Each structure stands twice: as C-alpha cells, then as structure tokens.
Amino acid sequence: MAFLQHTLSNGLRIIGEYIPHYRSVSVGLWVESGSQYETPKENGISHFIEHMLFKGTEKRTARDIAEEMDAVGGQLNAFTSKECTCFYAKVVDEHLPLAMDVISDLVLHSKLDEEDIAREKGVVIEEINMAEDSPEDLAFELLMLAHYGDQPVSRPILGTVETVSAFTQADIRDYMKRMYCPERSVLALAGNFKWESVIEQAEKLYGEWEKSGVQKPETGTVAVPPTKLTRQKDIEQTHICLGFPSAKIGSKDIYPLALMNSVYGGAMSSRLFQTIREERGMAYTVYSYPNSYTDTGMLAVYAGTSPEHANEVVKLILQETENLKVNGLNEKEFVQARDQLLASFILGLESTSSRMNSIGRRLLIQGDTRTDDEVVEKIKSITLDEVNEVTKRVLSAPFSVAIVGNGADEVEI
C-alpha cells in the first residue's frame, strides 16, 4: 500500500503509513541536522541541541514534558546521527494529538535557558568521557579519522570537550535558525491514525514555522589515501578496526553489500565470527558492518582481542577477506544471507517505531518513498553474481586501519 503524503506550504513534508489493526502509533519529526553539517567550531552542536530541547519550553517545564508523556504511558525520545536528528514518540492511538503537540513544542518553542545550557554542558561532557572510556567506540572514531581525514563525516557526533564547552546561547540559536527549518524536515507517522486529523493538527502546529532561506551546507566528502592510526591506551585488550570504501546511500550496491556483509562478519554464522571466535577462541567480539551516508560509505571490520593474539587476529581477518574477495559467496551462503536480510527487514515491520523510522529517514535523506513491498521485491531480485561483483570490488580497495590499546603500535598490518 502506498504511503499517505502531504506537504505544507512552508515545505514540511508529512508521510504516514496507516495500519488500522494496530492500537499504537509512532510519530517523529526528522530534521536534517547532524555532525556532517557542522563547522569545526560547531562540532557536537546538533547533539547538544537535541539535549537542550528537552529542558523546557515556553509552556512546559522539563518535568511537565516527562509527566505528560508518562501519564498516558507514552515513550518520548530523540537521537542525533551524522546526517539527521529525530524527535519521536510512541503512544496509544488516542493520545497522538498530545504526542504531536509535545514534539512540536520541543522543537519550535524551547526556552534554551542559559543556566540549562551551562548545566547540560556537564552532562554532555560526561557522555564524551564515557565514550572515551569505551575502546570499541574510540577505535571506530579513530577509524573514521583514518579513513576520511579531517572532513565533516569523520568528526564525532558528540563533539569534543573543547567545542561543547565553548557553545553559547547565541551559537545554538544561530545554528537552529539555519538548520531547523520546515523545508529540510519530515514529519513521519506509522500506526493507527486519522490522516485528515493529522494534517489539520500539523497545519496548526507547524504552519507558522518559517523557512530558513539558507542552503544546506555541502558536505563534499572526498576520498583520501588509506592510513593507519594507532592510540596507546592502558587497557586489557587490543581493539582493531579496518575500513573499506563502499556504497553510499541510494547506491544500487546497498543491498548486495548487505548480503555480503552477512557472510563476511555480520552474523553469528559469518566467516569472521566462526573463524576467529568459534574455531580459534581469540575474540569475544568480532563483526563487520556497512556505514552509508549521502555521499560516501565504508564497510568496517572490528575485533577485540588480547595483545598477544592481535597479530594472529589481523592475519585471520586478512585471510578471510582475501578468500571472500577471490572466491566470493557460494550458493548456500547467498541464499542464507538473502533470507536473513529479508527476515530482518520483515520482522522490523512488526513495530510502528521501526516503520516510522524507516519511512522518515528514507524520505528525509534520500527522498525515497518506496513501499515495504517494493523493498522486499528488490531484495528478492538480487543475484549471486551481483553480490560477488560488489564483494570483489569492495574488498579489493585499499583499506584504512585503526588500533587502540596496549601495544597498538606493534600490531603488524
């Protein structure tokens, strides 16, 4: 079934998937604001704003926001990625008007009080410190820097202690004026709702939201020579990351890459997991996963192991990579990976939250309004030859490396 769609006069796009047999509904406001679009001095401001918008509005205190949603058993949250920020709620269908009102109130009428800003800086800095204490997160951030150099895509979503500490109320208001605008936002819904009522309320809530008149910043991610970065850290394990250039969002390679990844390191039955963990017992965590953005993509590999096993684990990763590159997937692996991807996608459709997430993100980032059935048919149409062609091309490319831990400089790769 096609999605319901409407665009307000100010450019705000509204998309809905009506599911009459559900009693829940999920709604999210998606804004094209993320670390990809920040200047070096602004790094982390998208995420910081996400925090600040829960600190009170002109008519609701932070406590009011929490109590109103709790009173109806609703869920209210938000997240920031490199390319978007989403404020979302899940409620019983009769409470959708409240959820829509609260979300619009957060985004359009937050007070951004200076005392709250000062207090929240401490919270976000602790979040940054927590990420610093997670070697896996640290290794991935280092890999992004090794793979892309100093470009917007490689900057951390959280920002740094230095940038966050320097944010002012004026900085926040200026950034929101440029980036929080209806023409680069999407209101997405999935579940049980009355479409006419949704449009009527959206007109009231967002109709006066003014366009920014500012063009979206160009990210312009460019390829850089592959590099190796290491960071000595006094911890028990050595954390190893590899990054291969791969498919960007919207590429025809996205689904073949997902199938390949399932066989490579994306599942418990994958080659990396079976070889390194199950057969050798050299790692508890080992996996691969694709990262796709609007103008670039990277297939990342991660393994955490003891320093004495680090070189052997690297050797095994490279052996499995070479084997997959040269010989490709076999028919059994291909069928299993395709069925696994289909099942994962279909099972995700059981939740209104995941359905809202899917249609909102796709429309905002890609302008894509394909239905779930069309996605399923696309996955079913993939051939083994397509997957193996993508596999060979991706795994033949020069790769970047990041290593964190004791003896990081001594790992040979």
Size (the chain), residues: 413
The number of angstroms, rounded, from the C-alpha of 255 to the middle of its chain's C-alpha atoms is 17
Q: 138: which 2 tokens?
A: 């640290």
User: How many C-beta atoms lie closer than 10 Å to residue 330's C-beta?
Assistant: 12
- Give the type of residue at 391: T
Contacts of 14 (CB under 8 A, 6+ apart): 5, 6, 7, 8, 186, 187, 188, 189, 198, 199, 202
Give every strand in the sheet of 85-92, ordered side by side: 4-7, 13-18, 185-191, 24-31, 85-92, 75-80
* Residues 366, 368, 370: CA angle, nearest 5 degrees: 155
CB atoms within 10 A of CB 250: 15
- End-to-end alpha-carbon separation of the chain, Å? 50
Largest CA distance in the chain: 64
The residue written with tokens 């920014």 in the block is: 212
- Of the residues 32, 50, 141, 333, which is catalytic? 50
| Amino acid of residue 327 | N
Q: Reply yes or no on whether 50 is catalytic.
A: yes
Q: What is the DSSP letter of 408?
A: G
195 with 27: CB under 8 angstroms? no
β partners of residue 298:
245, 291
Q: Is the dihedral of CA 130, 133, 134, 138 positive or negative?
A: positive
Distance (Å, rounded) from C-alpha 366 to C-alpha 308? 45
Phi, psi of 137 (to 5 degrees): -65, -40
Q: How far apart are CA 298 and CA 146, in angstroms?
A: 12
The Cα–Cα gap between 119 and 110 comes to 16
Q: Which residues are catalytic?
A: 50
